[in-house]
Amino acid sequence: MNLIENIRKALEHNSTVGTPERYCPNCWGRQEYGGHLFETIHKEKIDLSNLNEKKGWIQEYAAKHLSSIKLQKSGDNYVCQKCTLQLRIPQSGTKPTKTEF
């Protein structure tokens, strides 16, 4: 699920934003990136009725504030630049899972 879809779901359920696809779940939760994003969404008065119009704004926010926790492809894994968490690149149709050591 991408970032915009995650936000849509969060708005529908009036909950916080879960980790979007290709972002580090570790940093997203622990560093409260998701919490800050959701606060900002409320401040900007983004809701289900204007989410489509605000897509560009959200993407800009993500590029500015969330790019450091975006997972980078490295061999067979995705790697978080921030905390160096490695996630195995999933087989098609499955979610990334934590690499077991």
One residue of 7, 11, 17, 24 binding Zn ion per CB under 5 A: 24
Q: Of 41 and 85, which has the nearer Cβ to Zn ion?
A: 85
- Nearest residue (CB) to Zn ion, 24 versus 58: 24
- 40 belongs to the binding site for Zn ion (CB under 5 A): no
Q: Which of 36, 55, 82, 88 binds Zn ion (CB under 5 A)?
A: 82
Nearest-approach distance from CB 28 to Zn ion, in angstroms? 8
Tokens of residue 55, six digits: 């897509």
To the nearest 10°, report the CA torsion of 36, 39, 58, 17.
70
Residue 3 or 11 with smaller CB distance to Zn ion: 3
Look up residue 85 and give its two tokens: 């968490």
Q: How many CB atoms lie within 10 A of CB 32?
A: 13
d(CA 101, CA 93): 23
* Single-letter amino acid, residue 4: I
Interface positions with Zn ion (CB under 5 A): 24, 26-27, 80, 82-83, 85
